[in-house]
Amino acid sequence: NAGVTQTPKFRILKIGQSMTLQCTQDMNHNYMYWYRQDPGMGLKLIYYSVGAGITDKGEVPNGYNVSRSTTEDFPLRLELAAPSQTSVYFCASNGQGNNEQFFGPGTRLTVL
């Protein structure tokens, strides 16, 4: 199993551009999450999903959108990039009744 994979690893965007961060897991997990990590702030939940077709906002959803059309994929969309979205983004997943969240390697995004 590859676990949780994320693409791209790095990206530089200009203000106002849009992009999609990809996340795929091959563990047949129902639950998937997007976090952002900023220095000294820990991880903040952006959006999460409890299964295909079901998504919900986390703690910091503004400026982001998600979709969950399949169990495996949970892309995160930035429509109008802003410097405040410069961060490291992590995708994670866990199965029903499984307490451990498995994390991807992250995407480092810079908005200039």
Partner 1 sequence: AQSVTQLGSHVSVSEGALVLLRCNYSSSVPPYLFWYVQYPNQGLQLLLKYTTGATLVKGINGFEAEFKKSETSFHLTKPSAHMSDAAEYFCAVRNFGNEKLTFGTGTRLTIIP
Binding site for partner 1 (CB under 8 A): 4, 31, 33, 35, 40-45, 48, 50, 58, 90, 92, 94, 99-101, 103-106
| Least distance CB 74 / partner 1 (angstroms) | 14
Backbone dihedral angles phi then psi of residue 97, each to the nearest 5 degrees: 75, 0
- Residue among 51 and 83 whose Cβ is closer to partner 1: 51
State the nearest-atom distance from the C-beta of 80 to partner 1, in Å: 27
CB count, 10 Å around CB of 7?
13
Closer CB to partner 1, 52 or 103, in the complex: 103
In this structure, are residues 81 and 102 in contact, taking their beta carbons and an 8 Å threshold?
A: no
Asked if residues 92 and 4 have their Cβ atoms less than 8 Å apart, the reply is yes
DSSP 73: B
Tokens of 38: 């900023």
Beta carbon of residue 15, minimum distance to partner 1 (angstroms, whole number): 26
Residue number with CB closer to partner 1 (64 or 90): 90
